[in-house]
Structure 1
């Protein structure tokens, strides 16, 4: 059987664009407005801070499982439950899962005092 052909003899079409080969040939991707290969042009670094905040807010989850929260914030499980008992963060119970409301975490972190650095 020929390379790239299936049992019926039809060629498989790759859904992904071709990558540059190891022998130094250039990729088959189209060039962008300023010659870059990803097609974004010079728009890459021109996002405003408001756009970036709205994008990050759209990508950030509303609630996280307690295990993911512990990884992201790097606190112990007992500290997380202590913060919840003190009303600093909000825990949600959906079925058997315990979720942490990330809006309450952001508010808690905004209220937290800044660290004093020694010189």
Structure 2
């Protein structure tokens, strides 16, 4: 099954792990693109996957605990 071209806000929250508030913030800032179909807001998945791919890699470091 091919990837969808557009996804609802609820579908995008599940797919991306981002919350609704963050998604609307990114839409308002122009980081994500969406279209309106009636009352529904649909995220442009091609643009969204490009945006997610452009994010920097996480810099996660392990912390050594002091031994007693």
Taking the aligned partners of 2:27 and 2:7, their CA distance within structure 1 comes to: 14
Q: Which blocks of at least 5 consecutive residues in structure 2 are unaligned?
A: 63-68
Q: Is 1:87 the equivalent of 2:30?
A: yes
What is the aligned-residue RMSD (CA, Å)?
Answer: 1.2
Q: Which has the larger radius of gyration?
A: 1
Taking the aligned partners of 2:49 and 2:18, their CA distance within structure 1 comes to: 15
Matches for 1:1-119 after TM superposition, within 5 Å: 59-119=2-62
Q: Which blocks of at least 5 consecutive residues in structure 1 are unaligned?
A: 1-57
TM-score (norm 2): 0.83
TM-score (norm 1): 0.49
Aligned residues: 62
**Residue 117 of structure 1: how far off its partner (Å):** 2.2
- Runs (4+) of structure 1 moved beyond 6 Å? none
